[in-house]
Amino acid sequence: MKTNIINHTVQTITSLEIAELTGKQHFHLMRDIRKMEIAWEKVTQSKFGCSTYKDATGRTLPCYVLTKTECLYIATKFNDEARAKLVLRWEELEKADARRRMADARCLPEPQQILALADGIIGEGLRMLNEPAEDTLTATQVAKTFNMTTLDFNAVLRDMGIQYRRHGRWNLSDDLQGRGYTAERTHVSYSLKGEKKVKVYMTWTMNGLKYLNAKLGYPNF
C-alpha cells in the first residue's frame, strides 16, 4: 500500500510506504521508529506525525507520517540498499511535486485577465464607495460656474471661512458640516511599480452649490 501525502508546504510519506520500499514488516518498522522517536523528540522538541489506515481485515491501525528530514533520519538504521531506495523515492516525489507546481502556474490567468479581474473588483468597490458623491461636482466644475479658476475659487472659500486645507486636501468648515453641502469622492491609481495611490477629495452637492451661490452672489443657475 503506497501512501504519500502532499499539503501546501510540506511533502510527506507514511511508514507504510517505507515498509514496502525497504521490504520490512510494517509492525517491525513501527517498533523501530518508536524507539528512534525518543531521541528525535529530545533534540527537536517535536514528535513524528501520526495517522491511521485500515488493513486487509478492516482493522484501523496506526502509521507514521514523516517528512523528508524525518524519513532520512529513520533511514540511518537501514542498510545501504534500503537507504538508496528511499533517496530515489524522495527524488521521484520532489520531481512530481515540481511538475505539479509548474502545471498549476500554467493554469494561472493571463496578465490581461488578472488586470480585468482586478479592475472589476476595484471598480465595483469604488462605485459603492463613491455612490454618495455620484451626482456631485468637483471644485473645478463649481469654479467654472462662477467664472473662476480652481485656485482662485479655493482661495476665496478659504478666506470666507467656508473651507480649510489640511493634510493636502480641502475640508468643509466644521460649522457647515452635516448640512449636505459636500461629499467625499475616492480615486485609486497605481504607479508603474504597482504601488497603489488613494486620493480622497471633497466635492459639492447641489445644496452646496446653492449655498455657494448665496454666499458669492453670482447667478450660476
pLDDT of residue 87: 86
User: Pick from 63, 11, 60: which is nearest to 34 by CA?
Assistant: 63
Mean pLDDT by runs of 10 across the 221 residues of the chain is 49 92 93 94 92 91 93 88 87 82 65 66 67 84 92 95 93 94 86 80 92 80 48
Q: Can you give the pTM of this predicted structure?
A: 0.45
The grid coordinates listed for 201 are: 477629495
User: Pick from 101, 88, 92, 74: which is nearest to 9 by CA?
Assistant: 101
pLDDT of residue 106: 63
CB 130 within 8 A of CB 186: yes
d(CA 118, CA 164): 35
Is residue 43 within a helix (H) or strand (E), and if so which, with residue range?
A: helix 26-44
d(CA 12, CA 72): 12
User: Pick from 71, 6, 81: which is nearest to 40 by CA?
Assistant: 71
Handedness of CA 119, 121, 125, 127 (dihedral sign): positive
d(CA 221, CA 204): 15
Q: Specify the 3-state DSSP secondary structure of 181.
A: coil
Q: Which are the contacts of 131, defined by CB distance < 8 A and separation ≥ 6?
A: none
pLDDT of residue 126: 64
Query: Which residue, chain included where needed, has cell 458640516?
Result: 177
Q: Which are the contacts of 206, defined by CB distance < 8 A and separation ≥ 6?
A: 135
pLDDT of residue 141: 92
